[in-house]
Structure 1
């Protein structure tokens, strides 16, 4: 029998706290949806930062989280769409743009990309 863990999710967008039971072999995002919890997501395959959370306490396993660098994982960030609980957890949703900036900001050292004027057509 697969063990389940209590996962508490603080949703910063809605200022709500969700508590769900998640088996160790199930993704947290999908399990939450099955229990009626509406959380942010986009790609569902660990490639973007829409479902990013910061782990407050507990242990999470996310071998498929391509959208997070090892550095951000070590800082406690996780992607709920491809994360499994390995203990009871408490996490907090993050602003997608903030996580994206942490992930890729160093590549855009001159600040945010600005829209230019339309190209002249020949």
Structure 2
């Protein structure tokens, strides 16, 4: 039997809030689109961070969210394109670049790359 959950989404980038009803057997992003929400997304398969949200309250199931490390999931991040609501939820959209940096920043941005010659900063 399908259960429905109330999902409140605060879209930070446009300062807008949506409240939708989501069945527990459908992705939140897909269902939000059918209810007129204009939320950010890109790949739709859990591999990027465009649809990332931070969970303020509630619980999701996101087994296909390969774009989020287990550490970020434990910190309350989710990808709406591959998340199922498992309770009533409150979430807020995140800046894609910020989440990407949290996910992969330890691998990038370790200073200037030198190509065999000194870099003159003047």
TM-score (norm 2): 0.90
**Corresponding residue number in structure 2 for 1:7:** 7
Structure 1's consecutive aligned runs of 4 or more residues displaced over 2 angstroms after TM superposition are none
**Corresponding residue number in structure 1 for 2:66:** 66
**Corresponding residue number in structure 1 for 2:120:** none
For 1:57 and 1:98, the matched residues in 2 are separated by 21
Judging changes above 3 Å, is the alpha-carbon distance between structure 1 residues 108 and 32 closer, same or farther for their aligned structure 2 residues? same
Q: CA RMSD in A?
A: 1.3
Matched length: 113
> What is the deviation of 1:108?
1.3
Which segments of 5 or more consecutive residues in structure 2 lack a partner in the other structure?
114-122
> What is the deviation of 1:9?
0.2
Cα deviation per residue 1:1-39 (whole Å; 9 max; x = unaligned)?
A: 300000000000110110000000000000000011110
Give the 3-state SS of the residue equivalent to 2:92 in structure 1: strand
For 1:77 and 1:103, the matched residues in 2 are separated by 11
**Corresponding residue number in structure 1 for 2:116:** none
> What is the deviation of 1:64?
0.3
**Corresponding residue number in structure 2 for 1:54:** 54
For 2:45 and 2:83, the matched residues in 1 are separated by 10
Judging changes above 3 Å, is the alpha-carbon distance between structure 1 residues 12 and 111 closer, same or farther for their aligned structure 2 residues? farther
TM-score (norm 1): 0.90
**Corresponding residue number in structure 2 for 1:18:** 18
**Corresponding residue number in structure 2 for 1:43:** 43
**Corresponding residue number in structure 2 for 1:77:** 77
Asked if 1:91 is matched to 2:86, the reply is no
Give the 3-state SS of the residue equivalent to 1:13 in structure 2: helix
